[in-house]
Amino acid sequence: MDIKYFRLIKTITEEGNIANSSERLFLTQSALSHQLKELETRLGFKVFHRTRNKWKLTEEGIELYNIANNVLDTIEQGFNTIQQIKTGSKGNIKVGTECYSFYQGLPGFLQKMEMLYPQIDVDLILEATHQPISKLLSNEIDIALVTSIPANDRLSSITLFEDETYAIMHKEHKYSKKEYLSANDFADLHLIIHSFPLETVSVYEQFLKPNKITPAKISAIPLTEVSLEMVNANMGIICMPKWALKSLKIPEDLMFKSIGKYGVKRTHYLVVRKEDEHKKYINDFVSSFEEEFVSM
C-alpha cells in the first residue's frame, strides 16, 4: 500500500473531511476523492462513514488509521536518524585497546558517554586487544588505544598521557625493602599477567625483554581482582599503573615498587582514521575521552 494512502487516511481523520484536508495535502478535493475511492476499491471496504460536516472512521478504518500512524512515525524517525548520521552527531564507535589497564577504567567512561551522548553507541571490541592498529585499518574498529604512534599515513594519533608501571607486591615480599626492582630481580619472581602473549605485556616488552630476562614463573590471570588477591597472599607480583586500580579496593598490605632506576614509563595514544576525523560523533568521543583520561 502506497504511503500516500496512509497520509490520506491520517489527514482526513485529523481534519474531519476532505475539504479541510485539501490544503494540508496540497491536492484538490477532486484528487483526494479519487485517491480515497481508488483505495476503498482496492481494499474492498469503506474507510470512512461520510456525513455532511464530519467524516468518521469505519471499524476497518480505525485499524488502518493506527497502521498509518505507526508507519508514518517510523518513516519520520528513520529520516531523523539519517539526518543525524549525515550531520555526524549520531553513530556507532567500536573501540580496541592494546593495554589491558584500560579495561579497568573504560566501563565507567562508557557509562558516562551513554548518559551524555545517548545518540552515540560505543562497543568495546575485546578481540582487537592484540592487534588494534590492523583492526583499525581494516575498519573492524574505529578507535585504537595504543602505546606507540603507528607509522601509517591513513591514521591520526592524539597524545593522551604518560604513566608509569609499578610492581605491586606484598609488604613482606623478599624484595619489599629494595628501592626499586632490577631486571635481574625478575629472574626468580612469579609474575602475574593478564594474558599471553608476553609481547603485549609492557613490563616484559619495555624492560625485561631488552635485558634478556624471563621471570621464573608466569601466570595469566584475566581478572585483576583475583590477581590482587594472589599478590595479597604473597604468591607473586603484578605490574600495573596506579590509575588502572582506582576503581578497586587495594589491600593495605600491598605496596607499589618502581621498576628499574628510572621507572618503566609509556605514553598512551588515541588513534583514529583520518577519514573519520571530521565526524562529529568521533570528535565528541575523543574530547570526552581526553577529559576523562588525560590527567592520569
Cα dihedral 229→234→235→238 (10° resolution): 70
pLDDT of residue 19: 84
The residue assigned the cell 477532486 is 30
The residue assigned the cell 478535493 is 29
Average the pLDDT over 48-61 and give the result. 86
pLDDT of residue 269: 96
Rounded to whole angstroms, how far apart are CA atoms 51 and 55? 6
Asked if 160 contacts 287 with a C-beta cutoff of 8 angstroms, the reply is no
pLDDT digits (tens, 9 = 90+) for 1-39: 888 999 999 999 988 888 888 888 888 989 999 999 999
CATH code, 164-265: 3.40.190.10
pLDDT of residue 84: 67
159 DSSP β-pair partners: 269
Half-sphere exposure of 278 (CA within 13 A, CB side): 4
Detail the DSSP E strand segments found in 108-204.
Answer: 120-124, 143-146, 155-170, 180-181, 190-193
Please, which residues have CB within 8 angstroms of residue 164's CB and are 6 or more apart in sequence?
241, 242, 258, 263, 264, 265
**Third-level CATH fold of 91-160+267-293:** D-Maltodextrin-Binding Protein; domain 2 (3.40.190)
Domain boundaries, the chain: 3-87, 91-160+267-293, 164-265
pLDDT of residue 296: 65
pLDDT digits (tens, 9 = 90+) for 218-276: 999 999 999 999 999 999 999 999 998 988 899 999 999 999 999 999 999 999 999 99
pLDDT of residue 58: 93
| pTM given for the model | 0.69
pLDDT category at 79 given cuts 50, 70, 90 is confident
Rounded to whole angstroms, how far apart are CA atoms 124 and 127? 9
Q: For the domain with range 3-87, which CATH number is right: 3.90.1150.10, 3.60.20.10, 1.10.287.70, 1.10.10.10?
A: 1.10.10.10
Tell me, yes or no, if the two domains 91-160+267-293 and 164-265 fold the same way.
Answer: yes
Nearest to 50 by CA among 21, 23, 18, 10: 18
